[in-house]
Copies of this chain bind each other. A is one copy, B any other.
Amino acid sequence: MAEREVDRSVSQTVKAQLALRDQILSGSLRPGERISELQAVETTGASRTPVRMALVRLEEEGLLEAIPSGGFMVKAFSERDISDSIELRGTLEGLAARFAAERGVSARELEPLKECLAAIDELLRQVPISIEAFSSYVALNARFHALLTELSRSPPLIRQIDRASALPFASPSGFVMAQSALPEAQQILIIGQEHHRVVIDAIENREGARAEAVMREHARLAVRNLRLALRNRTHLDLLPALALIKTTTD
């Protein structure tokens, strides 16, 4: 069959996985909806085998749920699920910060973190922050969290944090974007930046408990703000992950 257009730059499995994730997060596939393999084959352009592999991976990732009688459906999340996921990630990042502090980190390793910090400081100097600056902030914040996670030098922990961030609303970018809908967005970003500053200081001074505590507080702040943000959903259209939230909160 030569009529199928094949992109050989990435594997069909990866292509299918990305395409399906996109469909889920964009809301083309609604929560609770069963995913038809045949339909997925048509929309992704891959054949059934890679599509099935992608479905298995997305299930492990937490975006899909296996149906006992066979097949997969898009998972639905309650507001509580979301806030728990954020707090969960905060707890893991707290452990990462503690590991970093207790195990010691060289000045050279801390350098990229400090650069991130300075770059964010620079952005926050504008009042009010522009849209472009905000999207830079989202990227820098994600980078800061990723670097911090790496500092733990614990592959099992890093792996688990990555898993916890797989759900888009639990990723650093996800909840930052949600919070941006709030009128107090700028102040929130400034407080978050203060947390970043404290965790670096704590790691530098080898204060494990303090490093851990501030990361957990960081997450708790995010949870509170997300709750507020979800109250006035009108501003949240930009958040693709919203498609996954159950309309009826339990």
Residues of A within 8 A of B (CB): 49, 52-53, 56-57, 60, 62, 80-81, 84-85, 87-88, 91-92, 95, 99, 154-157, 159-160, 163-164, 167, 170
A110 to B123, CA, bound (A): 51
Distance from A174 Cβ to chain B, minimum over Cβ atoms (Å): 14
Does the CB pair A156–B88 fall under 8 Å? yes
Alpha-carbon distance between A84 and B154 when the two chains are bound, in angstroms: 7
List, in ascending order, chain B residues with CB within 8 A of A62's CB. Answer: 156, 159
Q: 10 closest pairs, A vs B, by CB? A: A60-B60, A84-B154, A85-B156, A84-B156, A91-B95, A56-B56, A81-B156, A88-B157, A53-B56, A84-B157
A184 to B52, CA, bound (A): 50
A152 to nearest B CB, angstroms?
Answer: 8
**Cα separation A190 to B159 with both chains bound (whole Å):** 33
Contact partner, A60, options B57, B80, B85, Cβ 8 Å: B57
Residues of B within 8 A of A160 (CB): 88, 160, 163-164
* Cβ–Cβ < 8 Å partners of A99 in chain B: 84
**Identical chains bound together, number:** 2
- A81–B155 Cα distance when bound, in Å, is 7
- Measured between beta carbons, the chain B residues less than 8 angstroms from A157 are 84, 88
Q: Smallest Cβ distance from A166 to chain B, in angstroms? A: 11
Known interface pairs A53-B56, A91-B92; 13 further A-B residue pairs with C-beta atoms within 8 A, sorted by A's residue number: A49-B49, A56-B60, A60-B60, A62-B159, A81-B154, A81-B156, A84-B99, A84-B154, A84-B155, A84-B156, A88-B92, A160-B163, A160-B164
Q: How far is the CA of A53 from the CA of B87 in the complex (A)?
A: 32
Closest residue on chain B to residue A155 by CB atoms:
B81
* Chain B contacts for A85, CB-based, 8 A: 156
A56's closest neighbor in chain B, by CB? B56
